[in-house]
Structure 1
Amino acid sequence: MESVPVRCPVCSRDHAYSTPAYPCPCGTPTAPPLLRDAPAVLVGHRSWNDVWVTVRCASCDRENQWPQPELCCPCGTVLRIPVRPVVTGPAPAAPVSPAHIPLPRTAAHPRPAFRPMTIRTGHDAVSAAGLYLTWLGFRDVGRPGAGPASGIDLRADGLIARVDSSTRPTTLRAVETLWLNALGASATGVFFSLAGYATDARARADGVELPLFVMDLTGAPRPVNSPADELVSTGA
């Protein structure tokens, strides 16, 4: 897995960014090639063309559209990681549907590609998270009557989830509230955030093994801790 150093221009934190691999239709894990010496770009406004990059599979030479690599700093800054452009060859294969989540080869029953929905409002963010949880295998995903004031935005059989669509990093209190709700309900808790997570919130989630996901405006969640990676690998 390719990794490059990234420094946040806002808080000066140093990160090591590892690009995620996505399965090509031929089955080969494929990742956007990163530009190691190019600085990360601060994301202020997204356009549709900004969130996809062309990636060529080294095995079958197929060109596909994958999500643009991004890093969410704990300070709340979102950084776009530059990639090497693909020089289009003669008669490339038609691109497949973009923005599906990488599936480890260890998965017992590989899922079809996840098809995200564009996020324009907080309501859209909850809907996108619901689609993703359904894709993971949770059944009867829906919104509880109590609403977000209870710390829960989505419920399913054995699951409760929270979706933070604010512009600030998710707080420790929000993570602890969801974890306690999940503990009391003997359910799996899953957190989705558009702006990333505060450092102490991330540390607590790791300690209690609460899966954390970050969503961009394309509606494609990305796991940001080990419990989330495991959930993507095993499904519900």
Structure 2
Amino acid sequence: MSESVSVRCPACRREHLYEAPAYPCQCGAPVAPALDPDGAATAVVHRAWDDEWIGVRCAACGRRSEWPRPEVGCPCGTLLRVPVARADTGSARQKAPAARRVFQPVTIRTARDAVTAAAVYLRWLGYRDIRRADQRPPTGIGIAAHGLLAQVDPTVRPASLRDVECLWLTAMTESAACVYFSLSGYAPEARTRADTLGVPLFVLDLTGTPQPVNSLADELDATGAR
């Protein structure tokens, strides 16, 4: 587990005591990035997908995986990026083990958590090089992996027929498969259309566990990436 460090806001000079959250490794052990007590926090001004993730090695099994970069919000309105030890930075893309272990979900409290939960699940399925999608979807957030385009919809309304069709069309232009994750479920016509187009549908519960909605999703959950 990561130790608490003092983080000073560069805008208002307030100090915050911060401890990085732990995420479950594929082996089941909790993993948290090592924080740099001597580093200076920086304000997040612009978002970039590659800056959102850091590589962290599991002390139990040695596996290196990507996890969300530590951040903390200051009452003055500044979002702070917490410095991490040099050994925990950098890319963590690697080949997945042959056998999948029990899925360890990420609790969903924010829209960002929903994206993280979907990315963790896709990585568990065996998809590699997960990143932000090149094209932004009409609703929600697009993420991509090798040969796959996924849409994560963290809104409070059910995904519509148009949402599913737009995802499918975008995936077709990229010669990729596609999958949809929604926090609020799907309109009946969206479910019917997804079955016709071959789009697996999942609902993300608040524990961060994707629940298959159609048979295509059941098959993907059972077989993983091919």
TM-score after normalising by structure 1: 0.52
* Letter matched to residue 202 of structure 2: F
- Contact map agreement 1:191 1:212 (CA 8 A) in 2: yes
CA contact (8 A) 2:164 2:194 kept: yes
Alignment of 1:75-114 (within 5 A): 110-114=99-103
Contact 1:190 1:211 in 2 (8 A): yes
1:157 is aligned to 2:140: no
Provide closer, same or farther for how the CA distance between residues 203 and 171 of structure 1 changes in structure 2, counting only shifts above 3 A.
Answer: same
Aligned AA (1:207) = T
Query: Residue type matched to 1:134 in 2?
Result: R
The residue type paired with residue 198 of structure 1 is A
Q: Which runs of 5+ in 1 are unaligned?
A: 1-108
CA distance in 2, matches of 1:151, 1:177: 12
Gapped runs of 5+ residues in structure 2? 1-97
Say if 1:146 and 1:206 are closer, same or farther in 2 by CA, change over 3 A: closer
Q: Secondary structure at the match of 1:160?
A: strand
The residue aligned with 1:141 is: 130
Question: How far apart, CA to CA, are the structure 2 residues paired with 1:151 and 1:176?
Answer: 14
Deviation at 1:147, TM superposition (A): 3.7
Deviates more, 1:146-155 or 1:136-145: 146-155
Other-structure match for 2:170: 181
Residue by residue, what CA displacement relative to the aligned partner does 1:53-75 show, whole Å, maximum 9, x if unpaired? xxxxxxxxxxxxxxxxxxxxxxx
| Offset, 1:110 | 4.2
Q: Please tell me whether the aligned partners of residues 141 and 153 of structure 2 are also in contact (alpha carbons under 8 angstroms).
A: no
Q: Provide the residue aligned with 1:204 in structure 2.
A: 193
Contact 2:115 2:141 in 1 (8 A): no
Report the secondary structure of 2:190's partner residue.
Answer: helix
Aligned to 2:110: 121
Counterpart CA distance in 1 for 2:166 and 2:207 is: 27
Give the total of aligned pairs.
Answer: 128
Cα pair distance change 1:167/1:140, threshold 3 Å:
same
Q: 1:136: how far off?
A: 0.4
Q: Residues 116 and 235 (structure 1 numbering): CA distance in 2 closer, same or farther, change over 3 Å?
A: same
State the TM-score, normalizing by the size of structure 2: 0.54
**Where in structure 2 are the equivalents of 1:19-58 lying within 5 Å?**
none
> Retained in 2: the 8 A contact 1:152–1:178?
no
Distance 1:138-1:212 versus aligned 2 partners, 3 A rule: same
For 1:131, what is the secondary structure of its paired residue? Answer: helix
Match of 1:216 among 191, 205, 221: 205
- Give the superposition deviation at 1:146: 4.4
- The 2-side partners of 1:202 and 1:153 are apart by 19
Determine the C-alpha separation between the residues in 1 that align with 2:206 and 2:217.
Answer: 19
Q: Output one character per residue of 1:166-221: Cα deviation in whole Å (capped at 9) or x when no partner.
A: 11110110000001111111111000001000000000001111000001111000
Match of 2:217 among 215, 228, 235: 228
Q: Percent same amino acid among aligned pairs?
A: 57
The answer on whether the counterparts of 1:151 and 1:174 sit within 8 Å (CA) in structure 2 is: no
Task: Judge conservation of contact 1:213–1:221 (CA < 8 Å) in 2.
Answer: yes
1:123 deviates by: 1.1
Q: Is 1:151–1:178's contact at 8 Å kept on the other side of the alignment?
A: no
Aligned to 1:27: none
Determine the structure 2 residue equivalent to 1:190.
179
